[in-house]
Structure formats: structure tokens, C-alpha cells
């Protein structure tokens, strides 16, 4: 009987590993899709010279469509909203800045069983960088 009780506890603990693997695969897929969405928005901004309202709205819509548990208000979007122009020499002032983040609500499977609260089991995945504008100065 003692072995049955111990084996039951061990089996419950061992079940966390496949659950964690499945959760990591889900998060990886969502992060991969998020990177593609941000990359596409960045390429549009490079052509336009900045992040237009249309680009930002499309970016938000695509992220919310991909992440079913994320609302638009949870997104972190800090981008260049003024036109930047291509120059013949490097000029940091003419770079397009973007910082875009999305919350990941579940990082560890079985977090309550392990004593981890839902707030501690969440984080943001943030992409922050610069891109050179391709907009020709008028």
C-alpha cells in the first residue's frame, strides 16, 4: 500500500514533464508567429519611412487574431511615428525605432500545483530594435 501511495505521487509529478513540453511547443509557435507579424510590419514601415496608423492597426489586429487570450490593451507598442528618410551616410537620427511586446500568460504547466501564482507565471515577449528607412527625401 505504501508503494502505491508513493507511486501515485511520483506519477503525478512525472505528468508535468509532457504537459510542460506541450506548453513550450504552443508558446514557441505563438512567438514564432509574433516574430513574423512584427517583421512584416517592420518591412512596411521601412518602405513608408515610419509606422503609419494603418500599419499599427494591422499589427494590432494580426497579433490579437493570433493570440486568442490577448487583448489590444495588453500590447506594448512604442514605434516611430514621424517620417525618417534614407541618407547616403549612416545617421542614427534617421533610424526607425520599434518596441513591440505581447504577453505570454502561461509559462509553466501546472503552476498552481507547484505553488506559482498566475501573475508570476506570465511574462512579456518583447522585440525592440531599429531599422533603416528606405523613404527617399523629397
The edge-to-edge listing of strands for the beta sheet with 123-132 is 76-79, 95-104, 123-132
User: Angle CA(73)–CA(75)–CA(80) in degrees, nearest 5?
Assistant: 115
More confident residue, 113 or 48: 48
Q: What's the rounded mean pLDDT across residues 93-105?
A: 94
Of 18-22, 50-54, 87-91, 98-102, which range is least confident? 87-91
Q: What 8-state DSSP symbol labels residue 135?
A: P
Contact criterion met (CB below 8 Å) for 48 and 55: yes
User: Which region, left, alpha or beta, applies to residue 83 given φ > 0 means left and ψ of -120 to 50 means alpha?
Assistant: beta
Reported as type and span, the H/E element at residue 16 is helix 16-48
**pLDDT score recorded for residue 112:** 86
Q: How far apart are CA 63 and CA 70, in angstroms?
A: 8
Q: What percentage of the chain carries pLDDT values higher than 90? A: 67
Res 13 pLDDT > 80? no
Is residue 28 classed as helix, strand or coil in its secondary structure? helix
* C-alpha cell, 77: 507598442
**pLDDT score recorded for residue 26:** 94
Residue 30 CB contacts under 8 Å (≥ 6 apart), including other chains: 66, 67, 104
Domain residue spans in the chain?
2-132
Q: How far apart are CA 19 and CA 16, in angstroms?
A: 5
Res 14 pLDDT > 90? no
**pLDDT score recorded for residue 104:** 94
For the entire predicted model, the pTM comes to 0.85
**pLDDT score recorded for residue 95:** 93
CB atoms within 10 A of CB 47: 11
- Give the position of cell 507579424: 37
**pLDDT score recorded for residue 22:** 94
Amino acid at each position: 500500500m505504501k508503494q502505491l501511495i508513493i507511486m501515485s505521487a511520483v506519477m503525478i509529478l512525472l505528468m508535468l514533464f509532457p504537459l510542460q513540453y506541450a506548453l513550450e511547443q504552443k508558446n514557441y509557435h505563438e512567438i514564432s508567429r509574433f516574430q513574423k507579424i512584427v517583421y512584416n510590419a517592420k518591412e512596411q514601415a521601412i518602405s513608408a519611412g515610419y509606422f503609419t496608423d494603418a500599419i499599427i492597426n494591422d499589427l494590432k489586429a494580426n497579433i490579437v487574431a493570433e493570440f486568442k487570450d490577448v487583448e489590444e490593451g495588453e500590447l506594448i507598442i512604442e514605434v516611430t511615428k514621424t517620417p525618417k528618410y534614407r541618407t547616403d551616410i549612416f545617421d542614427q537620427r534617421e533610424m526607425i525605432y520599434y518596441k513591440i511586446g505581447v504577453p505570454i500568460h502561461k509559462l509553466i504547466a501546472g503552476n498552481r500545483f507547484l505553488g506559482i501564482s498566475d501573475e508570476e507565471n506570465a511574462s512579456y515577449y518583447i522585440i525592440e530594435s531599429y531599422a533603416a528607412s528606405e523613404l527617399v527625401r523629397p
